[in-house]
């Protein structure tokens, strides 16, 4: 069982590098790997004493703070399943995710989260707040079971324990639940550590939200398992104004981000350059395509290779990556070679395609989920020893590097945040004065894609763009709110009455510079 679970990897790190820094809370304090291990076990003992057991799902909604790291690992240590959630969700969104995951407990920071707590209360889910006052204290839970709970030292984590539960953002249905086991996470962490040669001498600043698989797996867990240090910004989130100060102050050797964050970092460098920059081994970009010119400018500005990678939740994050220059060809424009699993390009009949031929990217391996929650049809495809169909179109070149062409379906990728237009449609259609609506992605220089929508008001009712935007702000997380609303009288449909999203997008993009949007066919 050695190294077959995330817990065993972390335990080995605490043993091998007990006095090295693990978590650095910028400007406040540091925790060593041994201290982190002790804090996690202590918090886990309180969870077990409170009745949390194997298979129970515990939802967590925190900013990027030390309490999240400790409680996330404590949930997993107690053999329960951690379900991190975006703190920006509305009460309605929290209700869906808490219900769909069948969460038994909600964990928040001391200040709480009103929408999450409202949803939990409605579903009769208990709420507990977690606080760490200092590195020398134990974490305090608002509903602690007692002063001296039974230690978890005899509790054994199994490779098949479902440790993490995340949701995708589906394009044709509601978001799907993705259960990932201890062995899935361990396999992915080892893949990430291997391809980037992460060791105890590395350090990184977390710039991505830890409720997202990218920041969680590539930034946090892989660093901790390597014995490296992770810096959490003082504000609990990315700040361009403090980023380089943290990178310099803690001797960072790399960072990973989505293209939008890279663009912000680059823009600040060009307008307000720092007196000095740390010597970086590499920069990593994932979750969306990075424009070639931006990649070049990053490398020129910071003197380090930018390694693009390809990942998704169902693969516990990493699927392919460009290697470090000393280990292989650094090929901008590709998302690298497969890492730690098999990969094939299949045509619509499931036939493996030869070099250069386009088809659907499919994978299988120990890091791949064994199936979606409550979705037997999807489980048949997603089982880790069969081909998992990613929904992305790509091809392999003569050097074995993967190039992505686009998605089969219609997921909107806004700066790495995958947004289902179906979900936005549902909110728009819940407006009492909207008859029909469709959301779609449009190209955007900053985010890669942005959300627009077209709506048909109910007959005899006047609706403005501002009305629609304000309604969405109350019912959607901010990153899902359409940035432009087109008011129209007709929308193209198939014979079955289904709106043709692609044609809608093309039409309104063509009309975006005009003051009046004509009817289709006008």
Residue 327 pLDDT greater than 90, yes or no: yes
Question: How sure is the predictor about 241, in pLDDT bands with cuts at 50, 70 and 90?
Answer: very high
Q: Which residues pair with 451 in a beta bridge?
A: 441
Q: Is the pTM of this model over 0.85?
A: no
Please tell me the predicted confidence (pLDDT) of residue 490: 85
Query: Is CATH 3.40.1280.10 correct for 6-396?
Result: no
Cβ–Cβ under 8 Å, residues 13 and 229: no
What would the mean pLDDT of 396-409 be, rounded to a whole number? 88
Please report the pLDDT score of residue 204 as a whole number. Answer: 98
Q: How many residues does the chain have?
A: 522
Q: Do 165 and 101 form a contact (C-beta atoms < 8 A)?
A: yes
Q: CB count, 10 Å around CB of 429? A: 13
| Residue limits of CATH 3.30.300.30 in the chain | 412-510
Q: Indicate whether 502 pLDDT > 80.
A: no
Strand-strand pairing, 306-312 and 282-285: parallel
For the chain, residues classed under CATH 3.40.50.12780 are 6-396
- In the prediction, which pLDDT does 330 show? 86
The answer as to CATH 3.30.300.30 being correct for domain 412-510 is yes
Closest CA to 26 of 299, 221, 223, 239: 239
Between CA 20 and CA 18 the distance in angstroms is: 6
Confidence of residue 514 (pLDDT cuts 50, 70, 90): low
If one compares 498 and 297, the residue with the highest pLDDT of the two is: 297
- Buried b / exposed e across 155-190, counting CB within 10 Å, b at 16+? bebbbebbbbbbbbbbbeeebbbbbbbbbbbbbbbb
């Amino acid at each position: 069982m050695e190294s077959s679970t995330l817990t065993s990897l972390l335990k080995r790190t605490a043993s091998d590098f007990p006095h090295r820094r693990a978590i650095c809370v910028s400007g406040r304090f540091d925790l060593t790997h041994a201290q982190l291990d002790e804090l996690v076990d202590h918090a886990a003992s309180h969870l077990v004493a409170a009745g949390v057991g194997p298979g129970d799902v515990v939802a967590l909604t925190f900013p990027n703070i030390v309490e999240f790291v400790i409680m996330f690992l404590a949930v997993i240590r107690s053999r329960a399943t951690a379900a991190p959630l975006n703190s920006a969700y509305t009460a309605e969104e929290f209700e869906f995710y808490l219900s769909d995951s069948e969460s038994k407990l909600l964990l928040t920071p001391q200040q709480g989260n009103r929408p999450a707590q409202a949803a939990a209360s409605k579903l009769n889910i208990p709420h507990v707040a977690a606080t760490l006052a200092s590195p020398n204290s134990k974490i305090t839970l608002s509903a602690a079971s007692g002063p001296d709970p039974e230690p978890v030292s005899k509790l054994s984590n199994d490779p098949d324990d479902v440790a993490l539960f995340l949701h995708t953002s589906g394009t044709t249905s509601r978001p799907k639940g993705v259960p990932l086991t201890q062995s899935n996470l361990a396999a992915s962490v080892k893949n990430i550590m291997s391809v980037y040669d992460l060791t105890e001498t590395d350090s990184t600043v977390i710039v991505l939200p830890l409720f997202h698989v990218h920041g969680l797996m590539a930034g946090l867990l892989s660093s901790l398992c390597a014995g490296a240090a992770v810096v959490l910004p003082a504000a609990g989130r990315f700040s361009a104004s403090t980023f380089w100060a943290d990178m310099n102050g803690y001797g960072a050797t790399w960072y990973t981000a989505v293209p939008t964050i890279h663009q912000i970092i680059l823009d600040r460098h060009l307008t307000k350059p720092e007196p000095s920059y740390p010597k970086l081994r590499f920069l990593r970009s994932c979750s969306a395509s990075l424009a070639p010119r931006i990649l070049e400018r990053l490398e020129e500005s910071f003197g380090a290779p930018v390694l693009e990678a390809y990942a998704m939740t169902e693969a516990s994050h990493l699927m392919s990556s460009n290697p470090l220059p000393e280990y292989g060809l650094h090929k901008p424009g590709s998302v690298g070679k497969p890492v730690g699993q098999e990969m094939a390009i299949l045509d619509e009949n499931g036939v493996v395609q030869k070099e250069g031929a386009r088809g659907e990217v499919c994978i299988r391996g120990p890091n791949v989920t064994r199936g979606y929650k409550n979705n037997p049809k999807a489980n048949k495809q997603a089982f880790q020893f069969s081909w998992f169909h990613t929904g992305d179109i790509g091809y392999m070149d003569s050097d074995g590097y993967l190039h992505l062409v686009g998605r089969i379906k219609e997921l909107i990728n806004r700066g790495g945040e995958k947004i289902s237009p179906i979900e936005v449609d549902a909110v728009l259609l819940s407006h009492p004065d909207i008859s029909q609506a469709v959301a779609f992605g449009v190209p955007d220089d900053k985010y890669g894609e942005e959300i627009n929508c077209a709506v048909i008001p109910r007959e005899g009712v006047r609706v403005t763009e501002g009305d629609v935007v304000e309604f969405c702000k109350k019912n959607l997380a901010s990153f899902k709110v359409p940035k432009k609303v087109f008011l129209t009288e007709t929308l193209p449909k198939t014979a079955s009455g289904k709106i043709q999203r692609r044609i809608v997008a093309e039409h309104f993009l063509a009309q975006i510079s005009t003051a009046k949007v004509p009817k289709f066919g006008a």
